[in-house]
Amino acid sequence: MENQTYDTGARNSGKEVIIVTGSSGLIGTKLIKRLVKNYRLIGLDKTGNPFPPIEAECVNFDITSEDSIRAAMERVRYGYGNKIASVIHLAAYYDFSGEPSPLYEKVTVQGTENLLNVLQDFEVEQFIFSSTNLIYKPTVPGQKINEDCPIAPNWDYPESKADTEQVIKEKHGAMKTVLLRMAGVYDDEGHSIPISHQIQRIYEKQFTSHFYSGDTSHGNVFVHLDDVLDALIKTVEKRKELPEEVAINIGEPETPSYEDLQQRIGKLIHGEDWETYEVPEALAKIGSWGMNLFGDPFIKPWMIDRADDHYELDVSRAKELLGWVPSHRLLDTLSVIISKLKEDPVKWYKENKLEMPSRLKEKEKEEVQAHASH
């Protein structure tokens, strides 16, 4: 087990302790920087991941091993004592390919149970779990989903989150628990797989950008990273006032349809309406299967099965219990995301881990050569 830093005065600093699992991820790194002013931060993450910000001590662990978690937490006990204000559990397995994997059970479900078992030996006030809106049964436009609506996940990722929620209900012990059911996260650079790929298709004027295998009036709900951070911080701050067990939706109150996104992206990039045609499911699957023979494109047959899924969140509980209201809207932020794409396409493609078209590869090569000549 490796440690990044250790402050010998941490135990006596007077600040309460917060643990963030998955501390080197997109949310974890930004969250630690926001929390460090008022709390002592420990980041737990697997060996091989980048270290979290220097504001936190990093303790490497293997969440699939209870012995490894116990060793990591003994390190925490030695440096910071037995009392923990909040454990913010972000670590989980996720694979957008849609392929089944035993890691959903091993990492997300069983890993959380392992963590909860070890935490019983500590005085933990609060356990926050990063769940997803995708655990809910899809709805239709105009019908919002509140926290008491049916749970009906329809692929491995949300199924693992729903199963983990059940584990937390059964195994949390004396800890207060908060299940934050988050919408799809994005930020000013994009950093959202479905959004960045939709932008890419239209930016490159790909043939597939004009077709959709579902109802274009349907869509998914999103939430800006800054609003997610605010929600997490408020959840920690309000921990003494919150119920012993509670689920809270975190998302924007309006869900843009696929058509809304298409038109907005097309206007921002090319200054024109973007024609989008609905394709019958069977035909879309044949087309997707055919394209997969030539380079593993983003659109997979499994996505077509869920293209009609629609999610709108009722976030009134978040406002009532946390005083949280999102300050961003995806349709507004698209102008920021796309301005960054236009300013530096190579950087934007790299940030979003996208395959660059040949013209951008050439541009990158020219930039590298120009830099080397200086």
**What are the average pLDDT values for consecutive 10-residue runs of the chain, which has 374 residues?**
46 82 94 95 85 82 97 97 98 84 96 98 98 97 97 95 98 98 98 96 93 91 98 98 98 97 98 88 49 47 69 98 98 98 97 94 83 70
For residue 143, the model assigns a pLDDT of 97
Span 10-187+223-250 CATH architecture = 3-Layer(aba) Sandwich (3.40)
pTM of structure: 0.91
For residue 303, the model assigns a pLDDT of 54
Distance CA 94, CA 236 (A): 25
Question: Which residue spans of the chain are classified as CATH 3.40.50.720?
Answer: 10-187+223-250
For residue 283, the model assigns a pLDDT of 47
For residue 365, the model assigns a pLDDT of 86
Distance CA 239, CA 85 (A): 9
For 148: left if phi > 0, alpha if psi spans -120 to 50, otherwise beta; the answer is: alpha
Distance CA 323, CA 355 (A): 41
Give 11's contacts (C-beta < 8 A, 6+ positions apart). 79, 80, 81
In 3D space, the residue among 180, 181, 184 whose CA is nearest the CA of residue 197 turns out to be 184
Spatial contact of 43 and 24, defined as CB atoms under 8 Å apart: yes
Q: What sign does the dihedral 237-240-242-244 (CA atoms) show?
A: positive
Please give the biggest Cα pair distance in the chain.
65
Give 255's contacts (C-beta < 8 A, 6+ positions apart). 141, 219, 220, 221, 310, 311, 312, 313
Return the structure tokens found at 54: 């220097």
